[in-house]
Amino acid sequence: MPGKPSGSTSSGRAAMPPRPEIMLAALILSTIGAVFKLYGGYRYGSKAVLVDGLTCIANLAAGAFLYYTMRRSLAPPDVDHPYGHARMVYLGTFVLVLAYTYTAGISTALLLESTGKHYTVHPGSAVYALLGSAVYAMSVAVSARAGAGGSSYAMFTFSEVLEGVFSAGAAILGAELSSTADLAGAWIITAYIFYEVYGEARTLECLITDRTTPEVVGRVRGELERLGFSVRSVRLRPTVPGRYAGDAWVVACNMPPDVADLLVDELVENLRREGVDVTVHIDFTCGSSKGRG
């Protein structure tokens, strides 16, 4: 659903790691679906199917860049990226938003030019739109399993399934009744593109502004307090949806240092396996501090 950070959960469950090879398979399927829709819209005169096909071009362009960034995101941490390159995949999501915005603009210009003009629509447009939707349905199923980034692509690509069914209906009405019905369908699809762009832009906004899920912070704080520490602060920021990095400051005035170290090391390792990479700073004297993690 647009507007919800892809792959995130209120419990902070880590998103699946990127799987570029699966993403590549999804792109191949999307290419086949795009060919069906573009041919059907151009060959048989449906503006609704043609606009639907234009969104396929944006989908493929953005998907190809997303595949590239997914591969880059798997690079290990280095001096410039101490937390790794996981967020690189969201450059692909950003391009996805830009590509669909550009397509929405082109579609708007095309439809404004066609408004008030009569044209002929052949029912064959609907057949190719439905064939394209069927192939896109397979692409959605595949890309949803591609991990971080793939879920964003799956969301946009699922819209290609819906748009294909809708544009097929508009083409049939255009062929049986009037081209006005087909044109109206094209306008509705264009409006839906803008809605999708808005929803995914909200997802990016959450990442860019480091909006942290309160439940995750509360869970880290609760685990530290359960171990007997007095918690001064917990600061976390999302790296990708479902994964966080940050630090915590705790006080252990009445706890032996070796016991505190052991407890913190075990907690840090458990949290890291769950997608929370946190460094815990321990104040043993209520005045000085040291770091763990």
23-44 confidence digits (pLDDT tens): 899 999 999 999 999 999 999 9
Q: State residue 4's pLDDT score.
A: 37
**pTM assigned to the model:** 0.64
The amino acid sitting at 210 is D
Distance, in Å, from the CA atom of 62 to the CA atom of 98, rounded to the nearest integer, reads 8
* pLDDT exceeds cutoff 80 at 242: no
Residue range 8-24, pLDDT digits in tens: 333 344 456 678 888 89
Q: What is the pLDDT of residue 41?
A: 92
pLDDT tens per residue, range 255-281? 888 999 999 999 999 999 888 989 999
Average pLDDT over residues 237-250: 84
**Nearest in space to 73 (alpha carbons), one of 3, 13, 138, 152:** 152
List CB contacts of 63: < 8 A, sequence separation 6 or more. Answer: 23, 26, 27, 30, 96, 153, 157
- Average pLDDT on 179-197 reads 87
Q: What percent of the chain has pLDDT over 70?
A: 89
Instruction: Give the pLDDT confidence score for residue 145 in this predicted structure.
Output: 86
Contact 57, 117 (CB under 8 A): no
What pLDDT score does 292 carry?
53
Strands 276-283 and 243-251, sheet pairing: parallel
For residue 3, pLDDT over 60 is answered with no
pLDDT grade, residue 286 (50/70/90)?
low
Position 12 scores a pLDDT of 40
Q: Tell me phi and psi for residue 231, to 5 degrees.
A: -90, 125
E-strand ranges in 107-266 read 230-240, 243-251
- The whole-chain average pLDDT of the chain stands at 83
Taking the CA atoms of residue 71, residue 75, residue 81 and residue 85 in that order, the dihedral angle to the nearest 10 degrees is 30
Angle between helices 150-176 and 89-114 (to 10 degrees): 10
Those residues whose C-beta lies under 8 Å from the C-beta of residue 213, and which sit 6 or more positions away, are 8, 10, 12, 238
CA–CA distance, 14 with 276 (Å, rounded to integer): 8
- The side-by-side arrangement of strands in the sheet containing 290-292 is 230-240, 243-251, 276-283, 290-292
220 touches 248 (CB < 8 A): yes
How are the residues of the chain apportioned to helix, strand and coil, as percentages rounded to the nearest 5?
65, 10, 25
pLDDT for residue 125 is more than 90: yes
Are residues 66 and 154 in contact, defined by beta-carbon separation less than 8 angstroms? no
Task: Note the pLDDT of residue 232.
Answer: 92
pLDDT tens per residue across span 50-97 = 988 988 888 888 888 888 888 887 788 888 877 677 777 677 778 878
Residue 13: its pLDDT value, please?
44
Rounded Cα gap, residues 70 and 240, in angstroms: 12
How much is the pLDDT for 229?
93
Q: Which two tokens stand for residue 25?
A: 């398979």
Q: Can you say how many angstroms the Cα of residue 249 is from the centroid of all Cα atoms in its chain?
A: 33
C-alpha–C-alpha distance, residues 269 and 259, integer Å: 16
- Domains in the chain with CATH codes: 20-208 (1.20.1510), 214-292 (3.30.70.1350)
- Would you call 264 exposed, middle or buried from its count of C-beta atoms within 10 A (0-12, 13-18, 19+)? buried
